[in-house]
Amino acid sequence: MGIVRTIAIVVLSISFVVFVALFGRLPAFRRTPIAFLHRLLWVYIPNAFGALDERLTGRRVFFVALQFIGEILFIPAAWNRLSFLQLAVLPPLIVAPLWFLYLSNVTSSNITPQNHRAAMVAYPYDFALFHPGYFCSTCHFAKPARSKHCSICKACVQKQDHHCIWINNCVGRNNYIWFNALLVSIATLLFYGSWLGWGLLDQRLQDRLVPPALTRGSLTSKRWSTRLDWGEYFHAWAWAIAVEWRIGAVMMLAMMCIPLSLGFLVYHLYLIWAGMTTNESAKWSDWKEDIADRVVFRAEMKTLRETFPALPEDVEPRERDVRWPAGVRAKWWLVRTRDGEQPRMTVRSRRTENGHAGSNHGKGTREEEVPDERWERVTSIAQVENIYDLGFWDNLVDGLSNRG
C-alpha cells in the first residue's frame, strides 16, 4: 500500500498544479493563495527559468518531459501484452500532441508593423469591449479589435485568447487551430492510455485470481471481481498497481488528468459556440456585473455618429475594408457611468439682458449640462449584442481558418 499511497500523492499534486495553472485567474480566487500560486506559475517561475528553457527545448520542457516520462514507463512494460492493432495506434497518438504543441509554440499571433493593417481589418470594433482610437502604451500601435497586449510575450496579440504556460505562447488568431488540435490530441491520448492501463491491470487480476484451470470446461467465464465487496475490490486493484507500478502510475495520472483536459476542451468549444475568447469572456463578466449595478447605458450608433464621426482610417478602418460579414456591425455604443446617472451633454442657450434665455436680443450665450436623451439604461445582458457571434459553425470556421 505504500507505493500506491506515494503514486496517489504524486498524481494529486500534479493535478493540483494543473488546476491552479488553468483556473487560478478566475474572479472567485482573487486575493487567495490560489491566485498567488497562479501568478507564481505564470509569472515568477517562467521568468526565472525562461532563458534556460528557451535554450534547451524552445520553452516546451515541462509538457514534453511529462509525456515522455509517462511513455517510457508505460510502453516497455506493456509492449509484449499489446495486440498489433493496439501498437499501431500508438505512434500517431504519441506524435500528434508533440506536433501540435510545436505548431502552437512557434506560430505567432503578435502584431508587427508588417501585419498591423491586416490585424486592423480582421474584425470590426463592437463599441462595447473594443473601441477605436486606443493605442498600446508599449507597442505604440493603434489597438485592433479583439487584440490584447501580453506582458509575458511583450507584444500585442491578434484575437488574444490567453497566454498558455504549456505552450509558453499566447493563443491567438494564428495558432488557435493548433491549440484546439492540441487539446483534442491530449484528451485522446489520455483516454487511450487509461483504457490500455485498465485493460492490462484487469487482465493481470483475472490471471491471478481466476486461473484458466478453474474455468476450463465451463460454459461461462468467471470474473475476478465476482462476489467481492468494495473493500476487497479496491484492495485487489491496489495489489495490481503495486505489482505493475509503471503501468499503474501512468494509468492513474492519465485518469486524473482526463477531467482537466476534457474540461478545458469543452470550455473552448463553449467559447467557439458563444463567439468569444477567454479574454472577452472576462470582459463580458465585468459588463454583466456593471449592468447589475445599473451603471451601463447604450445609444444607437447612427445617432451618435452625428456627434462622434469616424476617426482617421489608420485608426478606425472603413467598414467596407473590414473582413467581416458586411451586415454585422455594432448597432449600439455602450458606456459606464460612475454615478449610475444618464450621460449628460453640454448645450448652449442665448442669455438675455435680464438673465433669461430665449430672446434674440441677448448679451451672449451660456453653457449648461443636461441629460443626453440618446442614452438609455441597459437592464439586462440580453440587450447587449455580441457581433463576433455568427453561430457555432461560422464561429468554428472563423476560429480555424481566419488566420493572418
With 0-12 / 13-18 / 19 or more C-beta atoms within 10 angstroms meaning exposed / middle / buried, residue 20 is buried
Q: Count Cβ atoms below 10 Å from residue 362 Cβ, excluding itself.
A: 17
Q: Are residues 262 and 306 in the same domain?
A: no
Predicted pLDDT at 1? 52
Predicted pLDDT at 213? 55
Number of domains in the chain: 2
Domain around 355: 278-401
Q: Are residues 227 and 307 in the same domain?
A: no
Tell which residue, 311, 260, 12, 39, has the closest CA to residue 152.
39
Instruction: Encode pLDDT of 228-271 as tens digits.
Output: 788 888 888 888 888 888 998 899 888 888 888 898 999 999 99
Q: Are residues 227 and 331 in the same domain?
A: no
Predicted pLDDT at 388? 96
Q: Are residues 219 and 307 in the same domain?
A: no
- Active-site residue (options: 156, 164, 170, 257): 164
Predicted pLDDT at 85? 92
User: Is residue 336 situated within a structural domain?
Assistant: yes
Q: Are residues 242 and 357 in the same domain?
A: no
Predicted pLDDT at 118? 94
Instruction: Encode pLDDT of 184-215 as tens digits.
Output: 999 999 999 999 999 999 999 888 888 665 55
Grid coordinates in use for 27? Answer: 474572479
Amino acid symbol at 335: V
Identify whether 164 is a catalytic site residue.
yes
With 0-12 / 13-18 / 19 or more C-beta atoms within 10 angstroms meaning exposed / middle / buried, residue 151 is exposed
Among 247, 274, 301, where does a domain finish?
274
Among 274, 301, 317, where does a domain finish?
274
φ, ψ for residue 112 (rounded to 5)?
Answer: -125, 165
Q: Are residues 71 and 186 in the same domain?
A: yes
Predicted pLDDT at 272? 95
Three-state DSSP string of the chain: CHHHHHHHHHHHHHHHHHHHHHHCCCHHHCCCHHHHHHHHHHHHHHHHHHHHHHHHHCCCHHHHHHHHHHHHHHHHHHHHHCCHHHHHHHHHHHHHHHHHHHHHHHCCCECCCCCHHHHHCCCCCCCCCCCCCCECCCCCCECCCCCEEECCCCEEECCCCEEECCCCEEECCCCHHHHHHHHHHHHHHHHHHHHHHHHHHHHHHHHHHCCHHHHCCCCCCCCCCCCCCHHHHHHHHHHHHHHCHHHHHHHHHHHHHHHHHHHHHHHHHHHHHHCCCHHHHHHHHHHHHHHHCCCEEEEEHHHHCCCCCCCCCCCCCCHHHCCCCCCCCCCEEEEECCCCCCCEEEEEEEECCCCCECCCCCCEEEEEEEECCCCEECCCHHHCCCCCCCCHHHHHHHHHHCCC
Predicted pLDDT at 41? 73
Q: What is the pTM of this model?
A: 0.78
User: Is residue 143 situated within a structural domain?
Assistant: no
Q: Are residues 11 and 72 in the same domain?
A: yes
User: Is residue 97 situated within a structural domain?
Assistant: yes
Predicted pLDDT at 238? 85
Q: Are residues 81 and 180 in the same domain?
A: yes
Tell which residue, 245, 249, 244, 203, has the closest CA to residue 225.
203
Q: Are residues 55 and 69 in the same domain?
A: yes
Q: Are residues 289 and 327 in the same domain?
A: yes
- In the predicted model, residues of the chain with pLDDT beneath 50 are 58, 359, 362
Among 240, 274, 308, where does a domain finish?
274
Q: Are residues 344 and 389 in the same domain?
A: yes
